[in-house]
Every structure is written in C-alpha cells, then in structure tokens.
Amino acid sequence: MRNVWQSVRRVRFKRLILLALLLWLWLMFVIAMIVDGYGRVDRAQPADVIVILGAGVQRDNTPGLAMRRRVSHAADLWRAGYAPVVICTGGKPENRSRSEADTCAELLLKEQGLPESAVLLEDQSRSTEENAMFTRKLMQEHGWQSVIISSDNYHVFRARRLFANEGMIVYTSPSAEQAPGGMYVTYLIREVAALQWQLVKEVLNLPITYVQGI
C-alpha cells in the first residue's frame, strides 16, 4: 500500500511540474506579445536628447545592421527637430578594440551628416541597464531630463523601464526597419528572458549585474 501511495505522489508531482511549465510558457507568450506590441508604436515627443542604445560591433570593428538601423532612425528624429543632441551609448564588446558608442558616432558624423556639437558619447556601458545608468550621469551634468530612446522595436519596452527607473522622462521611438524574421524571434525571446530577470532583480532589490548582450 505504501508503494502505491508513493507512486501516486510521484504522478501528482510530475503533473504539477508539467502544469507549472505550461503556465510559464503561456506567461512568456503573453509577455512576448506585450513587448512586440509596444515596440510597434512610435511614441517620440520633443525631448532634451535622443539616446541610441548600443548594438554589436562586428569583428572588423565596423557597425552591424542593428546599429545602422538605430543610428539612421535617430538621425531622422534629430533632423525632424525632436531633440538637439544625440547620445551614442555602449562600451567595448568583448574581443573588440572599439566601443559601440564610437562606432555609432562615426556613422552619425560621416554618413548622416550631423555636426560634432550634436553628438555625445557614453562609452562605458556593457548592457542596457548600464546604458541607462551612465546616460543618467551624463544628462545630470548638462541638466537634461527627457530622452527619446532609439532602438529596435523588440528592445524599447525593457529599455523604457530601465531608463525610467533612473529617474528620466522617457519616450520611445523604434526604428521602422526590423531585424529579419528568424532573427527577430530570437531577439524577442532573449528580451522576454531579460525582462524576467529585470523584474526579479527589482522585486529582490538586487544590485546591477552584467549579462553579455542584454
């Protein structure tokens, strides 16, 4: 009889694990839809600065497609008069000799034609969380309060939360061009995971942590 009850408990436990897994997958799907839906709306408003979130630098130290998307969109916002200054963010990725911010600035100056007086660099950060932290310090030095975030649409939901957590007034403006379909799904899944981790950190009041690529 004892063996029967142990077998029943094992079955119940496995069912609970399966149910928990299904609930978690459903929650991930809901969050993904929220992140995707938020990123399909341009919420740009006049602000003190436009912030371009860092994107990967290729092995030859040239900008990748994500950076080009974000820079092009930010330049359009600047030309439209949304803000007088653009801040390029991002430190040196691993195994690179050039920062994301420096690569971003070169695109703005040489390809988009912005004047040097309109471009600032934040070249210390290694993640979106650090983008927000170091950008806030730079903005405080100039007395700025409001930002327009220029990034890919899958990225702006979490980025807005991180920048708002630093006390900034935040507007988001995703680039019109998207990552290719398969890559977009991968990036979206990664964003959902990063958002979960951020929420856990906020609930537990954990310090800033660095995770490669987020």
Extents of the domains making up the chain:
49-204
- 49-204 CATH: 3.40.50.620
At 190-208, the pLDDT tens digits run 999 988 888 888 888 777 6
Taking the C-alpha atoms of residue 174 and residue 152, their distance in angstroms, rounded to an integer, is 5
CB 146 within 8 A of CB 168: yes
How much of the chain, in percent, has pLDDT values that exceed 70? Answer: 93
Instruction: Check pLDDT > 90 for residue 36.
Output: yes
Where b means 16+ CB within 10 Å and e means fewer, 91-103 reads: bbbeebebbbbbb
Global confidence as pTM: 0.87
Q: Is residue 65 exposed (0-12), middle (13-18) or buried (19+ Cβ within 10 Å)?
A: middle
Q: Which helix (H) or strand (E) holds 89?
A: strand 85-89
| Residue bearing the bigger pLDDT, 179 or 39 | 39
Helix (H, G, I), strand (E, B) or coil at 200: helix
At 65-116, the pLDDT tens digits run 999 999 999 999 999 999 999 999 999 877 777 899 999 999 999 999 999 9
Tell me what the mean pLDDT of segment 15-35 comes to: 88
Give the distance, in angstroms, between the CA of residue 134 and the centroid of all CA atoms in the same chain. 14
